[in-house]
Amino acid sequence: MDTIENAIQVRNLNKSFKKSFYEKKKQVLNNVSFDVPKNKTTGFVGNNGSGKTTSLKCIFEFIFKDSGEVLFFNEKMNPKIRKKIGYLPERPYLYEFLTAEEFLKFHLKLSGISLANENVNTLIDETLNKVGLLEAKKKALRSFSKGMLQRAGLAQALVHKPEILILDEPMSGLDPDGRLMVKDILKEEKKKGITIFFSSHLLQDMEELCDHLVAIHHGEIIYNADLKSFMNQYPSLEEAFRNKQKEARK
Ligand SMILES: Nc1ncnc2c1ncn2[C@@H]1O[C@H](COP(=O)(O)OP(=O)(O)O)[C@@H](O)[C@H]1O
Ligand SMILES: [Mg+2]
């Protein structure tokens, strides 16, 4: 039997939040375990508030988990691994006084790539071209539209040519052209063998792009396997997902 190699393994992740001193802790992630297979595209679906963003933040160590383990290529997070990941947060912090070019230079530096490297300009131009922002290279981010900012966010996740892309709602806030562009970019990256893990509540996009599916419902994983088996017998991912949610409620 073939064994599938995983780029990310999440095991028994728990996270709770306490809004104030007087309030009881609210468990947001409950023993979350799933896999992200290497060189494949994995979708992370769930309703708003189901725990997608919190999971991704714990995985990337933006916030501390309460317990559990996350492995990347069988290793715990370390500086070397971090450089192999491109991460698009749900609400990226975009330094509005920087130009698109400066913004990407800043992110290259964060990824440990020296700006003295002769490939820097090529990396930046290639990436801006890919996301349709080459003409806006010298423009400050504060003059960007919402769609352009989302593209800039995607560009910073791609610029250092990561092996794993983790994207939180990459299609949200984009017009139909922008969504198509993101989908084309993801397909292109997948062809190159990049591992992609992205969250969305837009099931149509998932159906089109994903090989593997992870579904979360009220902080619990209700599915973690290939997309085809998930859709088995159902005409659309939406119906399959609704049915899985019903089963989980029983
Ligand atoms: N910093 C926080 N403090 C308190 N509650 C939070 C915080 N972040 C997220 N939550 C709560 O955790 C739950 C899951 O949120 P989130 O992970 O953002 O869901 P999703 O990304 O699936 O929409 C929600 O009920 C949300 O209100
Ligand atoms: Mg979210």
| pLDDT of res. 1 | 47
**pLDDT per residue as tens, the chain (250 positions):** 456 799 999 999 999 998 787 888 899 999 999 999 999 999 999 999 999 999 999 999 989 999 999 999 999 999 999 999 999 999 888 888 999 999 999 999 988 888 888 889 999 999 999 999 999 999 999 999 888 998 999 999 999 999 999 999 998 878 888 899 999 999 999 999 999 999 998 888 888 999 999 999 999 999 999 998 988 878 888 888 888 888 887 6
CATH number at residue 11: 3.40.50.300
Domain membership of residue 19 (yes or no) is yes
Task: Kindly state whether residue 101 falls inside one of the protein's structural domains.
Answer: no
> Is 182 contained in some domain?
no
DSSP 8-state symbol, 136: G
Closest CA to 75 of 87, 64, 62, 85: 85
- In the numeric block, the tokens 């715990």 are attached to 76
Residue 187, pLDDT score? 95
129, part of any domain: no
CA-closest residue to ligand 1 atom 25: 49
Q: Could you list the residue range(s) of the whole structural domain that residue 4 is in?
A: 1-84+163-170+199-250
What burial class does residue 23 get, using C-beta atoms within 10 Å of its C-beta: 0-12 exposed, 13-18 middle, 19+ buried? exposed
Q: How far is CA 119 from CA 101, 111, 123, 127, 131, in A?
A: 14, 14, 6, 12, 19
Whether the CB-CB separation of 4 and 36 falls below 8 Å is answered with no
Angle between helices 146-158 and 120-130 (to 10 degrees): 140
Q: Is residue 115 part of a domain?
A: no
User: What pLDDT was estimated at residue 227?
Assistant: 92
Of 53, 57, 203, 222, best ligand 1 pocket probe by most atoms within 8 Å of the beta carbon: 53
Q: In this structure, is residue 100 part of a structural domain?
A: no
DSSP helix/strand/coil, 160? coil
Nearest ligand, CA of residue 64?
A: 1
Query: What confidence score (pLDDT) does residue 250 get?
Result: 63
- Calpha distance 55→64 (Å, rounded): 10
Q: Could you give the CA distance from residue 11 to residue 31 in angstroms, rounded to a whole number?
A: 7
Report the separation in Å between the CA atom of 54 and the middle of ligand 2, taken as the mean of its atom positions. 7
Ligand that comes closest to the CA of residue 216 = 1
Domain count along the chain: 1
C-alpha–C-alpha distance, residues 218 and 4, integer Å: 28
The atom number, within ligand 1, closest to the CA of 56 reads 17
160 CA distance to ligand 1 centroid (A)? 29
Measured in Å, residue 46 CA sits from the centre of ligand 1 at: 12
3-class DSSP state of 67: strand
Which protein residues are within 6 Å of ligand 1, measured from CB?
A: 17, 19, 28, 46, 48-54
Q: Is residue 114 part of a domain?
A: no
- Whether 186 is covered by a domain: the verdict is no
pTM metric for this prediction: 0.93
* Distance from C-alpha of 61 to C-alpha of 122, rounded to nearest angstrom: 30
Nearest-ligand number for the alpha carbon of 55: 1
